[in-house]
Amino acid sequence: MAEAHQAVAFQFTITPEGIDLQLSYQALNQIYLSGVRSWKKRVSRIRNRVIKGVFPASPSSWLFVAIGILATMYMQSDPSMGLIAKIQQHLPLSLHVSLSAQGQTMVSALVFSTLLWLSLILALRFCLKLLLSYHQWMFEQHGRISNTTKVWVTLVRLFSSRKPLLYSYQTSLPHLPVPPIKDTLSRYLESVRPLLTDPEFKRMTDLANHFESNLGNRLQRYLKLKALWATNYVSDWWEEYIYLRSRSPIMVNSNYYGMDFLYVTPTPVQAARAGNTITALLLYRRKVNREELKPSRVPGTVIPLCAAQCERMFNTTRTPGTETDVLQHWQDSEFVAVYHKGRFFRLWVYRAGRLLSPRELEYQIQRILDDTSPPLPGEERLGALTAGDRIPWAQMRKQYFSSGVNRRSLDAIERAAFFITLDDEEQGMRGDDPAGNLDRYAKSLLHGKCYDRWFDKSFSIVIYKNGKSGLNAEHSWADAPTVAHLWEYTLATDAFHLGYTEDGHCKGEVDRSLPHPQRLVWDIPSEVQAQVCTSLAVAQALADDVDCHVFPFREFGKGRIKKCRISPDAFIQISLQLAYYRDRGGFCLTYEASMTRLFREGRTETVRSCSNQSCAFIKALETGEGEEQCRRLFRVASEKHQNLYRMAMTGAGIDRHLFCLYVVSKYLGVESPFLKEVLSEPWRLSTSQTPVQQMELFDLKNNPDYISLGGGFGPVADDGYGVSYIIVGEDMINFHVSSKHSCSETDSHRFGVQISNALQDIMALLSPDTKTSSSHKAAAQPQSKKLL
C-alpha cells in the first residue's frame, strides 16, 4: 500500500560491496517534525505543571521572596531567626570546600527562601480551600447579603486575581463531605411523604429508624473512612456501579445526544461541515491539553468548578468486559475514525506536525464520500456490537478482536480522538412537517440505525447529508454540562470563527499530495456475524420502542419568568410536576440532576423535585382554590425547590449518600431492607437542564437564528418520561421528551402538550393580565380522570 511505503523512513539491502541504504528524506522529515511537536507538548505540560503546582502564587513570586530575604540579610538582620545558619551547617561537604563563607550563606539563604516560599504556597492553598468550603452565600436572599459573605467575596476575588489555567483550582477544591446519616434519612422521609399513604409512610419511617439505629451507623463509619482517604467518596463508585457494571445496552439507556442549531445550517455541503467540525473539536482539544480554557465557574460568580471531567474527553473509549467495562484513555491521537456506508476509515488529521486546515479536512472527507468500494463481509453492521448487551460484545472482543488485523482495526477506532459518522440521511427542522422532523432528528442522534455509531467512544459526531450535525455521548466519563461546553465551542467556532466560502466550502488551501484516508480491514468470522445480528435485534427493539418529541416553547422564556421574581428552573420544574399530574392523575418520584462540581471530582446529585410544597400548590390549582392562595403556595414551592437544589449542590443531598451506604453494605455482605427498597424505587419523571455556559460565543442579538436545540436522553423508567430542557436567551425554552411506546400510559407528544399548557397556566396565574386560553386545564382534565 502507498501509505505503508511512505511510512518507511529507510530501507536497506545487503550487497557484495556492503550495505546499501535507501533513505526516504520525506519520511525522515515527517518523523522529525512529529518529534518536534511531541517535545513542544512535553515542554508545555511541564510548564503547566509548574504553574499549577504553585497556584494561587506564581513562579515569579519565588524571586520576590528570595530578594526580600537577601535584602533583609544585607541590612544585618536575620529574618530566619537562626534557620539560615542551621541550614549552612548541614550543607554538603563539597559546598563547604568549594564555596566561601559568603557563598555558603547565600546558598543557605536561597534554600531558606525556597522553603519559606513553598510554605506560603501551602498556606495560601489551604486558605483558598477554606474559602471555597464556604457555601452559605448560596442560601442568602438576593439583596440581603451578610457582612461575612461580603468579606468572603472580596477574599475569593483576591485569590482569583491571577489568570488561572484549566486545572489550577483542582488541589484547592474542598472534598465532598459525608452528611450525617440522621439528616439524610430525615430529608429522604420528607421527600417521599407526598407519594405515600399514611400506612406506607409509617412503614417506611419504621424501616428508616431501624436502619439508623442498627446497620446505618456501622456503614457510615466505613464511608467516613473512605472520605478521609479518597478524593471523592462518591465518584469512583458512581462511575463503576451505575455506568460501567451495567450489562444492558448503553445505547438509549445511558448515552445521550446533542443537537445542531435550530433554524440555521451553516453549510449544506456535508464534507465542508465535517471539515470545520473536526477542526473546531481539535482546537478545543488543543486548549484542553494546553489548559488554555478558562475554568468553569458558578454562573454569575467567581467560584470555580471541578474540571476533572475534561481529562478523558478525547482519545477515550469504553471497552466491554464480562463483569465490568473499563474506560481506556490514550495520549493525543493524530487521527479520527470515520464511518460511511458500512466502511470504516482512519483519517489522519496531522501532517508534518501541523493540524490540517479545514479545507484539507473537507478534501479528505470528500474522498471518503466518493469512495465506492463495498463493505467487507460483516463490516457494515459491526457497530451493532456496541449497541447491544455488553457481555456478548466482551466475549466477541476477547475471542476475535485481540490479535491480527481485527485488533489493529479496532485499535484505530478505540484510540481515535473521536468517531465520526457521515450519515446518508437528511435531518433537521425542514419540509412540511418540521415538528415531526425534529422528533426523527432526535431519534437519529440517540440511536441512528443501531449500527452506524460507535457507542463506546467518549463521543461520536454525526454529519448528515444536508450539512446538519449532532453528537452522541457515552455517559460514564462525564456528565452533560462538560459535553455541552465542548459542543457550544464547536458550533460557535464552526459558524463564527472558521466560516465558509460563498459556495459553502471550507476556507483555506489544499495540499493535494495528502495520502488517502486509510480504509480499515477486517476479517469477521461467521460467529461474530451471527452475534452482530443478535445484538442488532436487541438494539433495534430498544430503538423502535423509544418515543421522542422535541419542541421549542416560544410563548415566553426566562426573561418573563424573572420579572415574576421566580427562578426559571423552579418555574419549569413545578410546571413539569403539574404536567405529570394532569397526564397521569398523580405524583411520582422525580429526578432532577444537579452538579456537585463545587467539590473535587464532583459529578451529580439528585434533586427530588416532587416536594410537599409543590404537591400542595398543584392540588390547590387543580381544585380551583383562590388565585391569591395559589400564588402564595407557588412561591413557597419555588423557594423549597431552590433550597433543595442548593442543598444538593453543597453536598447535602440524599441519593448519593444512600447509594454509597448501599455499596458499603454489599462489600460487607449485609442486607438492608431499607436501602434495598430505596434504591429500587423507579424515577418515573427524570429531568435535566442543559446549561448554556458560553453565551458570549453566540451573539443572539445580531444572530437571533443561531439558537441551540440542546440535547436529550432516553426514558429512565419503562413507564415514565425523560425530559431535558435548555433555556435559550430570554424568550425560548427547548424541550426534549422521551418515553416508551410499549407503555400504554405514556405518550411523549401528549406530555409535550401538557408541559406547554402547564407553563402557560402558571404564567397566567402569576401574571393575571396575560391572555392564556382557559381550555388548557379543561383539555388536560379528561386524560387525568381517564387514567385515574
Residue with cell 547565600: 106
Q: Which 8-state DSSP code applies to residue 506?
A: B
Q: What are phi and psi of 207, to 5 degrees?
A: -60, -40
- Give the span between the Cα atoms of 621 and 757, in whole angstroms: 13
Looking at residue 784, its amino acid is: S
- Dihedral sign, CA of 418, 422, 425, 426? positive
| Three-state helix/strand/coil letters over 616-684 | HHHHHHHCCCCHHHHHHHHHHHHHHHHHHHHHHHCCCCCHHHHHHHHHHHHHHCCCCHHHHHHHCCCCC
CB atoms within 10 A of CB 778: 10
Which whole-number Å values give the CA distances from 640 to 259, 629, 649, 782, in the listed order?
32, 17, 14, 30
Q: Which of 574, 583, 577 is nearest to 785 (CA)?
A: 583
C-alpha cell, 256 = 445521550
Q: Which of 586, 525, 185 is nearest to 376 (CA)?
A: 525
- Give the span between the Cα atoms of 385 and 387, in whole angstroms: 5
Chain centroid to CA 170: 17
C-alpha cell, 722 = 425523560
- Packing angle, helices 480-492 and 270-290, rounded to 10: 120
Is the Cβ–Cβ distance between 652 and 179 less than 8 Å? yes
Is there a catalytic annotation at residue 447? no
| Three-state helix/strand/coil letters over 10-51 | EEEEEECCEEEEEECHHHHHHHHHHHHHHHHHHHHHHHHHHH
Is the Cβ–Cβ distance between 479 and 593 less than 8 Å? yes
Q: In sequence order, what are the beta bridge partners of 194? A: none
C-alpha cell, 503 = 459556495
Chain centroid to CA 13: 54
C-alpha cell, 43 = 515542554
- Give the span between the Cα atoms of 780 and 279, in whole angstroms: 48
Q: Which of 241, 240, 309, 248 is nearest to 714 (CA)?
A: 248
Q: Which of 759, 734, 691 is nearest to 435 (CA)?
A: 734
Concatenating the DSSP letter of every residue in 250-262 gives STTTT-EEEE-BS
C-alpha cell, 279 = 477542526
Q: Write b or e for each residue in 76-100: b if 16 or more Cβ atoms lie within 10 A of its Cβ, otherwise e.
A: eeebbeebbeebbeeeeeeeeeeee
Q: Write b or e for each residue in 434-454: b if 16 or more Cβ atoms lie within 10 A of its Cβ, otherwise e.
A: eeebbbebbbbbbbbbbbbbb
Is the Cβ–Cβ distance between 263 and 705 less than 8 Å? yes
- First vs last Cα of the chain: how many Å apart? 69
Chain centroid to CA 343: 29
Chain centroid to CA 236: 15
- Give the span between the Cα atoms of 550 and 225, in whole angstroms: 45
Q: Which of 175, 475, 485, 776 is catalytic?
A: 475
Q: Which of 171, 168, 173 is nearest to 48 (CA)?
A: 168
- Active centre residues (catalytic): 475
